[in-house]
C-alpha cells in the first residue's frame, strides 16, 4: 500500500511555548485551583488560558471564555484609553485583546512565535487544511465559539465520540463502555472521602478483574482515559481525571481549520510576533513586559501563556502564595498528533468518524477519519502520555510518519 502523500507531525511536548498539550489536575487539585488562578493577581495583572477556566478547562472554548473573563476583570476598573499588554496570541489572549480593544483600551499583543493561534494550528496538507492542535469545538450546543463559527459561515462536521470503532492488533474488543463505567464507579467510590492518584485507582481496580477483563480495561484506559489526560498517572488526581469534562458532548470540527477563528479574533489588533516574553514587572505605576527584543510599558497586562510556560517567566513580584499553590496542583499532559493524507481510503470507515486502536506497544490510540469532511483521505492519529513521548519525542518527522503509516497498515489488516 502506498504511503501518505502529505503529512504533518506535532511537537507540543518539546515546544518551549506550549510544553505539553492541555492541563489536568494533580493529586489534591480541584476546580477551585483553576478559579483561584483566574482571579486577578493584583489590580494590574490577570492570567488567562485554558488552564484557568474552572468548568471548561483544557478546551478551546474554555480558553476563549477565560480570555474574556480576564478582560472583564481589567475593564471593571479601567479608565478609557488605558494601555494593556496581552502576552500570548493563543485563543485566550486574542479573546482578551479583542474585548479590551472593543472597549476602547489600547492593546498590544506580544507573541513569542511567528504566528498566532498557539495550540490551535491549522496546516496545509497538499491543498486541504487540517488541525495539528485543537480540532473540535467541544460541547458544541453550548460552545460560545459556535456562534463565531456560524458568523464566519464555517461549515462544521460532527464526530460521535460515544460511538468509536474499537480495533486492536490482538483481536476484537468488546465491552469497552462497560469497562469504563465500572472504572468510573470504582474511582468515584475510592475517592469519595479523599482524592488519590489515577495510578492507585487503576491498580486497585485491575486487581479485582480476571485477565480477559484486564485486557479490555487496559484498552479502554489507553483509548479514553490516557487520551483525555495525557498526565503521568502517578501524579494525576483521580477526582480531577474522572470528574472534569472532556470530549463527547456534540463535538464538531471545522474543515476550514480552527485557525480561522483566531484570524477573525485578531483582525485589526496590534500583534507583535517573534516577541518572546521573559519577564513581567508590576509596580504602582504600571506593568513592564520584557524580553530580548526590548520592553513594553503599559498600565496593565493579561498573561495568556500556557500554565506550563508561566513558571519560566520572571515575575516581579512573584505570584502571590494562593496563586502559586494553585499552580502547583495543575499539571500539563502530553498529546501529539500525526496527520496523514493518502490517495485513497483503505482503512475501515467508522460510522462516527472516530476509531480506537490498541496494540501491545506505544501507539496512536485515537484516530479521527477526516475523509468525509475534507473530501480527500486524511487521518488524524493522536497519542498521549508516555506514548506521545516515545513516538514523537526528539525523533525526526520521517521516522514518526513511517511508524504512523505502519500502524495504519496494521489497523487495516486487523479488520
Ligand X SMILES: Cc1cc2nc3c(=O)[nH]c(=O)nc-3n(C[C@H](O)[C@H](O)[C@H](O)COP(=O)(O)OP(=O)(O)OC[C@H]3O[C@@H](n4cnc5c(N)ncnc54)[C@H](O)[C@@H]3O)c2cc1C
Question: If binding is defined by CB under 6 A, does position 302 make contact with ligand X?
Answer: no
Shortest Å distance, C-beta 57 to ligand X:
8
Cell 485477565 -> residue: 211
Binder to ligand X among 7, 8, 13, 18 (CB under 6 A)?
Answer: 18
- CB-neighbour burial class of residue 358 (10 A; exposed 0-12, middle 13-18, buried 19+): buried
- For ligand X, the closer of residues 58 and 201 by Cβ is 58
- The residue (of 217 and 265) whose beta carbon lies closer to ligand X is 265
DSSP state of 128: S
Comparing CB distances to ligand X, the nearer of 116 and 201 is 116
Among the listed residues 50, 65, 359, 369, the single contact to ligand X using CB under 6 A: 50
| Residue of 335, 355, 381, 387 that binds ligand X (CB under 6 A) | 335
E strands, 111-261, where? Answer: 122-124, 129-131, 136-137, 157-158, 165-168, 252-253
Select 29 or 88, whichever has its Cβ closest to ligand X: 88
Candidate residues 10, 82, 122, 237; the one interacting with ligand X per rule CB under 6 A: 10
Q: Which is nearer to ligand X, 119 or 341 (CB)?
A: 119
CB of 19 to ligand X, least distance (A): 9
State yes or no: residue 63 binds ligand X (CB under 6 A).
yes
- Of 166, 255, 306, 331, the one binding ligand X (CB under 6 A) is 306
The minimum distance between CB 229 and ligand X, in angstroms, equals: 12
Pairing of strands 129-131, 165-168: unpaired
Contact between 230 and ligand X per CB under 6 A: no
Asked if 136 touches ligand X (CB under 6 A), the answer is yes
Residues of this chain, 353-412, that bind ligand X according to CB under 6 A = none
- The total of other beta-carbon atoms located within 10 Å of residue 304's CB is 30
Sign of the Cα pseudo-torsion (184, 190, 195, 200, in order) = negative
Which residue from 305, 338, 378, 383 is in contact with ligand X, where contact means CB under 6 A? 305
| 50's grid cell | 485554558
Sole binder of ligand X in the list 25, 26, 37, 58 (CB under 6 A): 58
Give the residues across from 167 on adjacent strands.
357
Encoded one letter per residue, x for contact with ligand X by CB under 6 A and - for no contact, window 95-124 reads: ---------------xxxx----xxx----
Is residue 337 part of the contact set for ligand X (CB under 6 A)? yes
Angle at the Cα of 248 from the Cα atoms of 214 and 120, rounded to 5 degrees: 110
Residue bearing cell 493561534: 117
Distance (Å, whole) CA 248 – CA 159: 8
Q: Which stretch binds ligand X (CB under 6 A): 91-99, 169-177, 264-272, 390-398?
A: 91-99
* Cα→Cα distances 148→67, 153, 261, 262, Å: 15, 9, 7, 10
Output 287 or 309, the one with its CB closest to ligand X.
Answer: 309
Contact 187, 201 (CB under 8 A): yes
Which burial class, exposed, middle or buried, applies to 164 when counting CB atoms under 10 A from its CB (0-12, 13-18, 19+)?
buried
With beta carbons less than 8 A apart as the criterion, state whether 230 and 334 touch: yes
Minimum distance, C-beta of residue 336 to ligand X, in the bound complex (Å): 6
Nearest to ligand X of 159, 197 (CB atom) = 159
Instruction: Measure the CA–CA gap between 331 and 236, rounded to whole angstroms.
Output: 8
Residue 190, preceding peptide bond in cis (omega within 30° of 0): no
Q: Which residues bind ligand X (CB under 6 A)?
A: 10, 12, 17-18, 21-22, 49-50, 58-60, 63, 87-93, 110-113, 118-120, 133-136, 138, 276-277, 304-306, 309, 335, 337
Amino acid at each position: 500500500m502506498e504511503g501518505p502523500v502529505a503529512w504533518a507531525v506535532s511537537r507540543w511536548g518539546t515546544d518551549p511555548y506550549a510544553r505539553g498539550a492541555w492541563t489536568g489536575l494533580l493529586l489534591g487539585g480541584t476546580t477551585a485551583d483553576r478559579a483561584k488562578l483566574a482571579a486577578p493577581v493584583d489590580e494590574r495583572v490577570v492570567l488567562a488560558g485554558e488552564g484557568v477556566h474552572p468548568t471548561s478547562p483544557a478546551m478551546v472554548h474554555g480558553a476563549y471564555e477565560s480570555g474574556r473573563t480576564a478582560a472583564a476583570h481589567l475593564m471593571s476598573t479601567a479608565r478609557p484609553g488605558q494601555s494593556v499588554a496581552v502576552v500570548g496570541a493563543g485563543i485566550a489572549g486574542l479573546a482578551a485583546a479583542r474585548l479590551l480593544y472593543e472597549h476602547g483600551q489600547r492593546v498590544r499583543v506580544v507573541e513569542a512565535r511567528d504566528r498566532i493561534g498557539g495550540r490551535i494550528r491549522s496546516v496545509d496538507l497538499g491543498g486541504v487544511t487540517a488541525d495539528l492542535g485543537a480540532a473540535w469545538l467541544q460541547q458544541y450546543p453550548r460552545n460560545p465559539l459556535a456562534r463565531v463559527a456560524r458568523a464566519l459561515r464555517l461549515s462544521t462536521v460532527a464526530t460521535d465520540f460515544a460511538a468509536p470503532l474499537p480495533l486492536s492488533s490482538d483481536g476484537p474488543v468488546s465491552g469497552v463502555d462497560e469497562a469504563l463505567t465500572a472504572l468510573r464507579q470504582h474511582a468515584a467510590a475510592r475517592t469519595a472521602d479523599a482524592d488519590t492518584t489515577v495510578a492507585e485507582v487503576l491498580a486497585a481496580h485491575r486487581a479485582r478483574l480476571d485477565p480477559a477483563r484486564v485486557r479490555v480495561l487496559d484498552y479502554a484506559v489507553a483509548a479514553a482515559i490516557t487520551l483525555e489526560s495525557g498526565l503521568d498517572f502517578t501524579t494525576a488526581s483521580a477526582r480531577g481525571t474522572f470528574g472534569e469534562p472532556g470530549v463527547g458532548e456534540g463535538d464538531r470540527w471545522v474543515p476550514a481549520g480552527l485557525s480561522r477563528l483566531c484570524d477573525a479574533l485578531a483582525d485589526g489588533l496590534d500583534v507583535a510576533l517573534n516577541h518572546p516574553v521573559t519577564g513581567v514587572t508590576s509596580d504602582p505605576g504600571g506593568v513592564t513586559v520584557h524580553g530580548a527584543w526590548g520592553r513594553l510599558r503599559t498600565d496593565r497586562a493579561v498573561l495568556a501563556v500556557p500554565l506550563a510556560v508561566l513558571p519560566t517567566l520572571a515575575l516581579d513580584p512573584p505570584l502571590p502564595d494562593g496563586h502559586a499553590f494553585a499552580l502547583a496542583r495543575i499539571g500539563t499532559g502530553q498529546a501529539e498528533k500525526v496527520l496523514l493524507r493518502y490517495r485513497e481510503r483503505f482503512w475501515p470507515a467508522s460510522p462516527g468518524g472516530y476509531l480506537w486502536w490498541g496494540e501491545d506497544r506505544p501507539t496512536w490510540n485515537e484516530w479521527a477519519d477526516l475523509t468525509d469532511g475534507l473530501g480527500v483521505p486524511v487521518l488524524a492519529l493522536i497519542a498521549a502520555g508516555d506514548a506521545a513521548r516515545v513516538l514523537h519525542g526528539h525523533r525526526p518527522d520521517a521516522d514518526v510518519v513511517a511508524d504512523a503509516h505502519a500502524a495504519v497498515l496494521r489497523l487495516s489488516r486487523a479488520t
